[in-house]
Amino acid sequence: MTLTRKNSTPLPTDVERSRWGLHSIRDVFTNPKYGPVIVTGLLLIGMFVYGMSQYRGFNNPQIVVNLLIDNAHLVVLAVGMTFVILTAGIDLSVGAVLALATMMAASLAQSGLPAGVIIPIILVATTGLGFLVGVMVHYFDIQPFIATLAAMFLARGLCYVISAKSISIDAPFFTVLGQTRLKFLGLSVTPSVIIAIVVVIIAVVVLRYTRFGRTVYAIGGSEQSAQLMGLPVARTKVIVYAISGFCSGLAGVLYTFYTLSGYALTAVGTELDAIAAVVIGGTLLTGGYGSVLGSVLGVLVLGTIQTLITFDGNLTSWWTKIFIGALLLIFIVLQKILTLRRA
């Protein structure tokens, strides 16, 4: 029997509701594809509402832009990490590779090479390192944790080979991009933010609208099933780690614009921030579910925590790690609950 409203069209049946993609609020929140992202979005909104109610000036739109300015490199890192985690992998080397990129940029700039040569060298080198990690993971069947841990030690060691001290960058191209501020709707934006946004857009298009993106999700869902369907599993897994290496190198370049220096101890622990952002953004550690936009929300959540602590003035920076750790535990438990409910 089909329900009707008076003087209205019939209400959709359950079958029609399913066909049209209409779900109850409960279905949306308990779906591992949407639930964690929605929770992250609501958390971010709640944090801003709290900040605006407690601190003067927190409602300034420039606060949001400053989050992107300070974390543009982390946004790019999170994009690469999203690709890896979607395939049920992990990459512990991204922070060390970022540091290596800053050291390469600083040392090559000091030697007089132009930025048009320096940046491609960095991106090719870091992409190549990611490619080698992908080969070890798939063809040599080495656990991603071990393969990327080895790459992390290698990259960090190469930083010290270049120099154990900080190297300042005074090359015109880097200083200009580091000091440039673009005006948009009355807000001040850096070129690094624009680059990070372009990377996010490209990643969204690749994952959502290309065969490669669909293969990434399929591998995360079940690598064996993806192979049985004839999908290019080997090539895709290698490319995913190469993408992560490329994003790490690009993040390093953006970080040099931000600091105008290279240092071997740069970004120690940043790989954990990238993983936390991706998980808080709703990407399942077991792979198959997640989105780049969710990871960006995760980065904004981490940045907002730091901003709230700065506005408070009474808490040390270590509280940032405490809050991030608590959020990470909550979201991992949430993911486990949602996957068990859908099983």
Query: What's the average model confidence in pLDDT over 87-97?
Result: 95
Mean pLDDT, the chain, rounded, equals 86
How confident is the model at residue 15, as a pLDDT?
42
Model confidence at 311, pLDDT cuts 50, 70, 90, reads confident
Report whether 131 contacts 241 (CB < 8 A).
yes
Decide the pairing of beta strands 261-262 and 167-168: antiparallel
How confident is the model at residue 32, as a pLDDT?
59
Model confidence at 59, pLDDT cuts 50, 70, 90, reads confident
How confident is the model at residue 7, as a pLDDT?
47
How confident is the model at residue 60, as a pLDDT?
85
How confident is the model at residue 338, as a pLDDT?
65
How confident is the model at residue 333, as a pLDDT?
80
Residue with tokens 């801003």: 48
| CATH class of the domain at 36-333 | mainly alpha
**pLDDT (tens digit per residue) in 223-268:** 899 999 989 999 999 999 999 999 999 999 999 999 999 999 999 9
Tokens encoding 29: 């929140």
Instruction: State yes or no: pLDDT of 300 exceeds 90.
Output: yes
How confident is the model at residue 1, as a pLDDT?
44
- Average the pLDDT over each of 15-19, 56-60, 101-105, 266-270 and give the range with the smallest value: 15-19
Instruction: State yes or no: pLDDT of 82 exceeds 60.
Output: yes
How confident is the model at residue 323, as a pLDDT?
82
Decide the pairing of beta strands 187-189 and 182-184: antiparallel
Instruction: State yes or no: pLDDT of 291 exceeds 80.
Output: yes
Query: What's the average model confidence in pLDDT over 174-193?
Result: 89
Distance CA 234, CA 239 (A): 9
Distance CA 232, CA 219 (A): 10
Query: What's the average model confidence in pLDDT over 202-221?
Result: 94
How confident is the model at residue 28, as a pLDDT?
56
Distance CA 296, CA 181 (A): 22
Query: What's the average model confidence in pLDDT over 291-298?
Result: 93
How confident is the model at residue 262, as a pLDDT?
92
**pLDDT (tens digit per residue) in 1-45:** 444 444 444 444 444 444 434 455 555 555 656 667 888 888 889
Query: What's the average model confidence in pLDDT over 109-115?
Result: 91
Domain boundaries, the chain: 36-333
**End-to-end Cα, the chain, rounded Å:** 31
How confident is the model at residue 2, as a pLDDT?
44
Percent of the chain with pLDDT strictly greater than 70: 87
- Average the pLDDT over each of 26-30, 88-92, 132-136, 314-318 and give the range with the smallest value: 26-30
DSSP codes of every residue in 142-194 = --HHHHHHHHHHHHHHHHHHH-SS-EE---HHHHHHHH--EEETTEEE-HHHH
- Average the pLDDT over each of 172-186, 209-223, 315-329 and give the range with the smallest value: 315-329
Query: What's the average model confidence in pLDDT over 263-284?
Result: 91
Query: What's the average model confidence in pLDDT over 164-179?
Result: 91
